[in-house]
Amino acid sequence: MSEHITVNIDDQEIKARPGDKLLWAALENNIYIPHLCAIKEEKRPNSSCRLCFVEIEGVSRPVTACSRQVQEGMVVKTRSPQVDRLVKTAFELLLSDHNLNCRECPANRNCALQKIAKERGIKLKHNRLKPFNRTFELDDSPDEFALDRSRCVLCGQCVWADRVGAEAWIFGFAKRGIDRVLTTFNNLPLAELSCNECTLCVDACPVGALYYKKD
């Protein structure tokens, strides 16, 4: 088998490794596809954020690029009216449960939501969907960092970093649908758990939900 295969994305020929996921092949070639939940090392992505839709020639509906493997000769479009609609709806749904106050947020100017809004020309504000207005208690119990769930986009990056990187199993998710929430083991404050403040979870968070106190 050839070491590389050729894929056409937005009229650009790129080389990818057989078995690569389309999302990572595109990103490695500087072709941006919105994404929050994808983890490169994860074999079976859960594709929960629904932001990485693309169109593949010959496939009737848009598919998530984080779950689709590249194939020789694949022709992909990262933009189309249908893709843009799906991404915008998923993004607006995320924002409707988000404490949007960028000026006071530690992630301001270094935030994946801001990047997606900029790249896709979507307004970063509460839009047609009514805000959920859930309230969460701030967990600032660790010395180095804090967790503000009102800015959590439920991407799972911290859960992966905590389990695979730190092998601590402190984070997880509870409930389903609009009630879904990032939890800690037994719902305890982070300082009461076996957290050694390695801060891998903080570095993995793409928004301002897990943040360093000193920033």
Q: Which residues bind ligand SF4 (CB under 6 A)?
A: 98, 100-102, 105, 107-108, 111, 113-114, 124, 151-158, 182, 204-205, 207-210
Residue in 64, 99, 157, 184 binding ligand FES, rule: CB under 6 A = 64
Q: Is 157 in the site for ligand FES (CB under 6 A)?
A: no
Give every strand in the sheet of 12-16, ordered side by side.
Answer: 12-16, 5-9, 75-77, 53-56, 63-64
Residue 205, binding choice from ligand FES, ligand SF4, none, Cβ under 5 to 8 Å by partner class: ligand SF4
Of 70 and 205, which has the nearer Cβ to ligand SF4? 205
Please identify the residue of the shown chain whose CB is closest to the bound ligand SF4: 105
Phi and psi at residue 42, in whole multiples of 5°?
-75, 125
Q: Is 78 in the site for ligand FES (CB under 6 A)?
A: no
CA angle 112, 89, 125 (to 5 degrees): 55
Q: How far is the CB of 64 from ligand FES (least distance, A)?
A: 4
Of 49 and 195, which has the nearer Cβ to ligand FES? 49
Residue 19 burial class via C-beta count within 10 angstroms: exposed 0-12, middle 13-18, buried 19 and up: exposed
CB atoms within 10 A of CB 99: 18
Residue in 47, 78, 99, 184 binding ligand FES, rule: CB under 6 A = 47
Q: Is 36 in the site for ligand FES (CB under 6 A)?
A: yes
Residue in 14, 24, 35, 152 binding ligand FES, rule: CB under 6 A = 35
Closest among 38, 55, 36 to 116, alpha carbons compared: 36
Q: How far is the CB of 49 from ligand FES (least distance, A)?
A: 3
Q: Is 39 in the site for ligand FES (CB under 6 A)?
A: no
Residue in 9, 52, 83, 111 binding ligand FES, rule: CB under 6 A = 52
